[in-house]
Amino acid sequence: MPDSITITVGAEDSTNISVASAASAAQTTFDSSTSDLSVTDLQNAVATLANEKFAQSGEPTVGVNEGDLWYDTDDDIMYVRRDTSWTKLVQENLSGAIDGGTY
């Protein structure tokens, strides 16, 4: 097994992942300098990303941050956390220009 692997994300973006033989997710590290993640091991990175989305019937109120996603399973509507409130990602029956805003 190689000591390191490079995964190319895009034309100019790449992430270096160092892998030890028979490494666990906690032992697998990566360079997080090109992302907004503050963790550098795979186990905590997956846990951090998992906490940025919600799929439940009620509005999430604990552990939410701007940019998080919530799928309302009762109403089948996707929301994004904008400032301190949840905003629908898709509006119905729109007319005129659509302003996507900034996040």
Q: What is the mean pLDDT of each run of 10 residues along the chain (103 residues)?
A: 52 55 69 76 77 84 86 88 86 60 58
- Would you give the end-to-end CA distance of the chain in angstroms? 41
pLDDT of residue 24: 73
72: Cβ contacts below 8 Å, ≥ 6 apart = 56, 57, 59, 78, 79
Q: Angle 3-25-33 (CA atoms, 0-180°, nearest 5)?
A: 70
Q: What is the pTM of this model?
A: 0.47
pLDDT of residue 39: 81
